[in-house]
Structure 1
Amino acid sequence: MTGLSFGGLSGILVLVAYAAAMLLIGYFAGRGQPSGEHKTARGYYLGGSGLGFVALFFTLYATQYSGNSIVGYAPEAYRSGFLWWQSVPFMIAVIAGYLLFAPRLYAIAKRESFVTPTDWVRYRFRSTPVSLLVAALMLWGLANYLLEQLIAMGHGISGLTGNTVPYQVGVIAFVVVMLVYSWAGGMRAVALTDVMQGIALLVGVAVLLIGALYLSGGGLGELTRHLADTDPVKAGVPSGEDSVNWLSMIIMIGIGAAVYPHAIQRIYAARSERTLKRSLAIMAWMPLVTTGVVFVVGIVGIKLFPGLSEDDSEQLVGLIANEVAGINLFFYVLMILLFGGVVAAIVSTADSALLSLSSVVSRDLYGRHIAPQASERKQVLVGKVVGVVAVAILLLVAWNPPSTLFNIFVLKFELIVQIAPAFILGLYWRRLSAGPVFWGMLAGALLAGAWTVFDVDKLHGIPAGLLGLALNVVICVVGSLLTTPTARTPDTQPHPAQPARS
């Protein structure tokens, strides 16, 4: 994000205010928990499974709409034109993906006291190889996701402060803030900061759109005519390959984002099934008021800043915010406050990924395989320390981002989507067996990873991750039909007499 006219001291003060608010929320979230609860795995990673409607909705919202939703999606709309409208239906598809399995999974998770996403896999398939492979794919996706947020965080901070605070310094400062409040309050602190940051994100993109439309001097109709006259390819009917890619991305992201590890843990953290369903019902409308708005901002940018290169277009949100801030004092003040909120929202997505990464390491690797006798308190401590180390390593990568934000965003789906059959098919199909699930995930991940690493062209617009998923499902289905079921059959009926397992 480029330097803004409202940068400098005012931007720094706003960021300091947001940082202070996050630290206070983390402090009081930690103090507000029953004695010792935040030192248990369930208390620290799931907030005691007691998130109410408001907290659950906003933490789901902050999880789905990351820094990439603002900093990365508008430039993609600028480069692709109306083809990028696909960002709206694929975010709607994520909610459809949740509804495929979330209520059913919640019933089992509540009864069995699941903490990490891998707890379901272990319960369902009773297979160490399957559990370890799922954990490895989750850690890859979470590290990639966290890297994406660190890069977006740096762009946002340097842009808001007019480069007064350099990219690297800004990232380090807010990473420290994030680590402190998440360490102090765990999931409860993360969820409460998500409420603040989610509101800031919603209001921020609305103000950005209003200012951008004012600057462009017209509505969507005028923008479409301008685009048709100056760059008809971006306003035209997509090619057959682009249409296939559009549909493929909707399917892959709809499924992949729904099985994010930190999204699954929010399912576990809901206070009740009714709370979960109410939150998802409201989430179904959020693509229109978030990705839809950001899409329009990107289209406005084509008129306001024609001819930007790919690298320069990555700065589009900062360029538009700069112009909006210059309209009058009203927009000047709002852009300072609300763009600081966008930076805070980026932090909120990073803390969710970090918390989930910490839980997988502490519970599924350390607690299960390295030190099975370790107390929950020690497991949580190990998870916190590993989280700090992981962030330090990712910061080194973030200094020189390897690709555009959008390409980083897509890359994580190639592998994380491969865990979907274990969750969705595993919940509904009793015959699904551990062996085929393992080999299906492995084959799908290897195909998708090799296709991406060796930069092979897409097959008629179909992304590598979806090809891998197709191979994965075929192996799961055919293999399970040819073998005798050995895994636990899914059962969502409550059994009050059965003791819960941690």
Structure 2
Amino acid sequence: MAETGLQLGIIGGYLLLTLAIGLVAYRLTDKTAEDYYLASRTFGTVVLLFTTFATLLSAFTFFGGPNLAYAAGPEWILVMGLMDGVLFGILWYVIGYKQWAVGKAHGYVTLGEMLGDRFGSKALRVFVAAISIFWLFPYVMLQQKGAGTALVALTDGAVPYWVGAGGITLFMIAYVVASGMRGVAWTDTMQGAFMLLMIWAAVLWILAALGGPSAATAGMGAANPEFLSLGGGLYTPQFIIGTAISIAFGVTMFPQVNQRFFVARSKTVLKQTFVLWPVLVVLLFVPAFMLGAWAVGLNLNVPEGGNVLSVLLRDTTPAWFAALVVAGAMAAMMSSSDSMLLSGSSYLTRDIYRPLVSAAGKREDTIARVGVAVFATLSFVASIYTPGTLIEIGETAFGGFAQLALPVMVALYWARTTKWGMLAGIIGSQAFYLASVFIPQVPATIMTWDTSLYGMALGLVLTVGVSLITTSAPTEKRSVYFEEVRAD
């Protein structure tokens, strides 16, 4: 009982420190939508790098990734660490830079706002926001599942799942309602540095206990020789390439990531950030996933649906150290959840509430805060009853967002794109992907390739093809994306 109290005290103290930073930032936040949602587009390189880093590296990374490495082998590093670190860095330049320039010139806050204005379409704006919120929901749920199951494993069941996940959810509601993008970014910077430090500290501690990396790898190979060879089992070329593409393209359309394309102070900040991005990703993913793979050689008692990282820490490190590392995982979860809730509320208020209810944006701040609370509460309730694993939930959301990426890229770079092409591309690809997820008769793979990739190809063909056979509506503004904009 004393151990459990110490662990919960460490995690609770960390949560309070995070809240304090957020409240300081709240006092500096202006009462404008642009400042609340985008911190008035003032982020420098360090803050933009770490807020994006911390926002993406969530419970999926700390728990889903090590679990998959534990079950299938360390090649998961290729998917998330190397391939997606590089792919997303490239997409950050291709999509992010153009979006930043357009957003800065015209004051856009959300992706739906940017597309709706360019194509003069309220329907497109609302649909992009609605489908984004739909796919965001399971990923918020993923963070809550990660937090709840981590606390169950760390405390050996003394803290039930619903208490751990519910407590974190209440904390997040209070935190996000009180703080805007500036507070989120400041705490993300602290959380990103903290979780990077703790995962490397965990690697060094555990390797010292196991006799070094050679001994740990030998133990892993003795328990499962296939883990010493590249590929095989789950890691077919189709799985590695398909998953990497779906995740990288999906990440660019995640609301909490996509809005960060708007917030850089200058072009120089953007360039420095996406160059540094792959380095930072590898520094976190390699140690986190190798811990999961090395755990195979330790004969751990990992319960079905449990988190191998929590059990590994509990069995090989002191209680206070395990609590610190789990606090780092909580940092990963919170730094994703706070951004998701903030971005979700901006999509809800600016792209659904404004066009459909109040064009003047009356009571927008109140609606945003109520939306945060409702969204977080519903996702928590769903996390209790959903049968999906962390990996399944995360992959479903990535694939859904990936369907948006190619139509958006076409719109940003091809002036001939029409409203009807955009609607056809986005609706067609989403309908196909939704069918593959929810209708048993539609296969999840076609010729061993994930249907997410076919949905992306369908979206591209429909966007280009329908645009070629339709004319621009009078309300469309082609010049919005192609007029001269100041780079800095």
Residue number in structure 1 paired with 2:44: 52
Residue number in structure 2 paired with 1:17: 13
Structure 1 Cα separation of the partners of residues 229 and 430 of structure 2:
35
SS of the counterpart of 1:403? coil
Residue number in structure 1 paired with 2:457: 470
**So what's the TM-score if we normalise by structure 1?**
0.89
Mapping of 1:299-314 within 5 angstroms?
Answer: 299-305=293-299, 311=304, 314=306
SS of the counterpart of 1:269? coil
Mapping of 1:22-37 within 5 angstroms?
Answer: 22-33=18-29, 37=30
Q: Summarize the Cα distance change of 1:13–1:224 in structure 2 as closer, same or farther, 3 Å threshold.
A: closer
Mapping of 1:131-280 within 5 angstroms?
Answer: 131-219=125-213, 226-238=219-231, 242-280=236-274
**Are 1:76 and 2:68 an aligned pair?**
yes
Picking from 117, 120, 123, the partner of 2:111 is: 117
Q: CA deviation at 1:151?
A: 0.8
Residue number in structure 2 paired with 1:8: 4
Picking from 281, 290, 295, the partner of 2:275 is: 281
Residue number in structure 2 paired with 1:500: none
**Are 1:322 and 2:307 an aligned pair?**
no
Residue number in structure 2 paired with 1:460: 447
Match of 2:115, as an amino acid?
A: V
Q: CA deviation at 1:352?
A: 0.6
Structure 2 Cα separation of the partners of residues 67 and 210 of structure 1:
21
Structure 1 Cα separation of the partners of residues 127 and 175 of structure 2:
31
For residues 269-325 of structure 1, give each alpha carbon's deviation from its aligned partner in whole angstroms, at most 9, with x where no partner exists: 22222222222222121221111111211110111136967x25x320111111331
Give the root-mean-square deviation of aligned CA atoms: 2.3
What stretches of structure 2 of length at least 5 have no aligned partner? none
Structure 2 Cα separation of the partners of residues 248 and 394 of structure 1:
28
For residues 466-501 of structure 1, give each alpha carbon's deviation from its aligned partner in whole angstroms, at most 9, with x where no partner exists: 1111111111122222233444332252279xxxxx
Picking from 287, 292, 296, the partner of 1:293 is: 287
Q: CA deviation at 1:411?
A: 0.6
For residues 385-412 of structure 1, give each alpha carbon's deviation from its aligned partner in whole angstroms, at most 9, with x where no partner exists: 0110111111111113421101110011
For residues 93-130 of structure 1, give each alpha carbon's deviation from its aligned partner in whole angstroms, at most 9, with x where no partner exists: 22222111111111110111111121211132222222
For residues 155-208 of structure 1, give each alpha carbon's deviation from its aligned partner in whole angstroms, at most 9, with x where no partner exists: 233334443332212222222222222212211111111122111110111122
Q: Summarize the Cα distance change of 1:213–1:460 in structure 2 as closer, same or farther, 3 Å threshold.
A: farther
Retained in 2: the 8 A contact 1:92–1:287?
Answer: no
**Are 1:336 and 2:336 an aligned pair?**
no
SS of the counterpart of 1:285? helix
Structure 2 Cα separation of the partners of residues 436 and 494 of structure 1:
25
**Are 1:66 and 2:66 an aligned pair?**
no
Retained in 1: the 8 A contact 2:104–2:262?
Answer: yes
SS of the counterpart of 2:315? helix
Structure 2 Cα separation of the partners of residues 422 and 351 of structure 1:
28
Moved more, 268-277 or 236-245: 236-245
Q: Summarize the Cα distance change of 1:95–1:167 in structure 2 as closer, same or farther, 3 Å threshold.
A: same
Mapping of 1:309-458 within 5 angstroms?
Answer: 311=304, 314-326=306-318, 333-375=320-362, 378-455=363-440, 456-458=443-445
Structure 1 Cα separation of the partners of residues 178 and 301 of structure 2:
47
Using the aligned pairs only, state the percent identity: 25
Retained in 2: the 8 A contact 1:204–1:342?
Answer: no
Query: How many aligned residue pairs are there?
Result: 478
SS of the counterpart of 1:290? helix
Mapping of 1:76-115 within 5 angstroms?
Answer: 76-85=68-77, 86-88=79-81, 89-115=83-109
Q: CA deviation at 1:6?
A: 8.8
Q: Summarize the Cα distance change of 1:191–1:229 in structure 2 as closer, same or farther, 3 Å threshold.
A: same
Q: CA deviation at 1:42?
A: 0.9
Retained in 1: the 8 A contact 2:219–2:298?
Answer: no
SS of the counterpart of 2:359? coil
